[in-house]
């Protein structure tokens, strides 16, 4: 028995030495990871299940109190370190990514909306890759979808608008690439979602009109969509500047513009009895009527 005990002790010391040298890891040791979590437009119950699980699993949760509702933190563990990044430059966040490498911790970096849209994520991703960290991006519900849902409008109406342009007004801190001015996109006459543009309402209205939208084109203005203090307003393009100024809206505001916001349009073919696909056969009479309607248009 003594020999067996001695052999077991020797094996244990060998295992400890292997762990210390990096040749073997303990079963419960975790690899450092940074997850960029899309928090959605604001309401905590609009988090995806995967996003909530990533926050629950995190040792460090980084969020910006100025952009993300605090209810999102309900998913964090009681022993998790909570960091408000609202006043931190990227250099203030990088040490947590470096800790993830050294200590094998999990970091959840929460971004408002969807991280892929004006999320300032790419430079952080590059740093994480440089550090050799495992990285994951979890998409979030975009404020565009949230505002359309609040207004109970579809943004793509058959024969009215089949495209949605997501953009922002130029002339601010970040210059726009050539050809991406609002007036250029406005020439398409389709649905547009304008981020980060409410502070320059006069320029915004002017460029949309110069691009070809009529003054009576419907607009939706949404402030803090899905937050407790949300405000959703309807107006025409000719009233856009005055409406934004009247309600003192200059940040956390999304503007939608386009004929799809009011037009009834035509029926979608997707659920038309004359339309068929791999899971449904078409009704012959309805199919014939649909074909005749197409030929007559």
Query: How far is CA 24 from each of CA 17, 20, 29, 31, 108, rounded to the nearest angstrom?
Result: 9, 8, 10, 13, 27
pLDDT tens digit string along 25-47?
A: 443 457 899 999 999 999 999 99
Question: Which regions of the chain carry the CATH code 3.30.950.10?
Answer: 144-261
pLDDT tens digit string along 249-276?
A: 999 999 999 999 996 655 555 555 655 5
Query: In this predicted model, which residue has the larger pLDDT, 178 or 297?
Result: 178
Q: What's the chain's average pLDDT?
A: 87
Examine the pLDDT at 128 and tell me if it is beyond 90: yes
- What is the DSSP track for 109-126? EEESB-TTTT---HHHHH
Query: How far is CA 212 from each of CA 10, 155, 185, 187, 209, rounded to the nearest angstrom?
Result: 81, 19, 10, 5, 5
Q: Of the ranges 154-163, 192-201, 272-281, which one carries the lowest mean pLDDT score?
A: 272-281
Fold of 27-141: Cobalt-precorrin-4 Transmethylase; domain 1 (3.40.1010)
Examine the pLDDT at 5 and tell me if it is beyond 80: no
Provide the whole-model pTM.
0.79
* pLDDT-based confidence at residue 285 (cuts at 50, 70, 90): confident
Per-residue pLDDT, 4: 41
The arithmetic mean of pLDDT across residues 104-125, rounded, is 96
Examine the pLDDT at 88 and tell me if it is beyond 80: yes
Question: Which regions of the chain carry the CATH code 3.40.1010.10?
Answer: 27-141
Examine the pLDDT at 165 and tell me if it is beyond 60: yes
Q: Which CATH number fits domain 144-261: 3.40.50.12280, 1.25.40.10, 3.30.950.10, 3.30.1050.10?
A: 3.30.950.10
Q: Of the ranges 4-18, 29-43, 165-179, which one carries the lowest mean pLDDT score?
A: 4-18
Say how far apart CA 157 and CA 146 lie, in whole Å: 17
pLDDT tens digit string along 208-257?
A: 999 999 999 999 999 999 999 999 999 999 999 999 999 999 999 999 99
Examine the pLDDT at 104 and tell me if it is beyond 50: yes
């Amino acid at each position: 028995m003594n020999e067996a005990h001695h052999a077991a002790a020797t094996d244990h010391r060998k295992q400890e030495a292997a762990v210390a040298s990096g040749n073997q890891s303990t079963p419960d040791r975790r690899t450092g990871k940074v997850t960029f979590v899309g928090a959605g437009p604001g309401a905590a119950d609009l988090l995806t299940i995967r996003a909530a699980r990533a926050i629950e699993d995190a040792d460090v949760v980084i969020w910006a109190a100025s952009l993300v509702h605090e209810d999102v933190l309900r998913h964090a563990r009681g022993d998790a370190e909570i960091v408000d990044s609202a006043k931190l430059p990227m250099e203030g966040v990088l040490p947590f990514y470096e800790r993830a490498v050294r200590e094998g911790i999990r970091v959840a970096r929460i971004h408002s909306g969807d991280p892929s849209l004006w999320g300032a994520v790419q430079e952080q991703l590059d740093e994480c890759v440089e550090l050799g960290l495992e990285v994951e991006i979890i998409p979030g519900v975009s404020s565009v979808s949230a505002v359309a849902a609040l207004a109970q409008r579809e943004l793509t109406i058959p024969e009215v608008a089949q495209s949605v342009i997501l953009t922002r007004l130029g002339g601010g801190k970040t210059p726009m690439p050539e050809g991406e001015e609002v007036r250029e996109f406005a020439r398409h006459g389709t649905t547009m979602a304008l981020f980060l543009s409410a502070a320059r309402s006069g320029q915004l209205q002017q460029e949309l009109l110069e691009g070809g939208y009529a003054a009576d084109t419907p607009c939706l203005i949404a402030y803090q969509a899905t937050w407790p203090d949300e405000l959703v307003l309807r107006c025409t393009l000719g009233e856009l500047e005055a409406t934004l100024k009247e309600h003192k809206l200059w940040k956390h505001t999304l503007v939608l513009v386009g004929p799809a916001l009011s037009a009834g349009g035509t029926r979608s073919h997707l659920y038309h009895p004359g339309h068929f696909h791999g899971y449904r056969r078409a009704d012959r009479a309805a199919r014939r009527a649909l074909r005749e309607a197409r030929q007559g248009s």
